[in-house]
Amino acid sequence: MSKTKSDTAKTPTTSETKATARATQLTEIQEKFDKEQNQGFRGAEVDPTPNENYTVAGVTKGLPTPETDAGAAKDARKVTGLGLSAIESAELEKK
């Protein structure tokens, strides 16, 4: 009886299969870690306000933050889905 191509094809051993799975897992973990490192924090960004607005230079330039500007608070609320901030409540009371 002659051997067919499927009879002679090499199948991976258990250790080779485990090594391949481990390499795939390590690659996925490294990609997630690299993303967090590039982003600068873990998780999802919830405040669309540029970080510069919170610096001394940003504050002295009058750049808006959700804590000091009703428009910025409204933009942040749209992204986060949270309720009215104190600045927005005060703005509504003035009307």
pLDDT values of the chain reduced to their tens digit, one per residue, 95 residues: 555 655 566 777 888 888 888 999 999 999 999 998 988 888 777 778 899 999 999 999 999 998 889 888 888 888 877 778 788 888 888 87
Would you say 83 and 77 are in contact if contact means Cβ atoms under 8 Å apart? yes
42 alpha carbon, distance to own chain's centre: 6
Domain boundaries, the chain: 64-94
Single pTM value for the model: 0.47
Number of neighbouring beta carbons within 10 Å of residue 53: 20
Give, in order, the Cα–Cα distances in Å from 12 to each of 5, 17, 19, 20, 29: 16, 6, 10, 10, 24
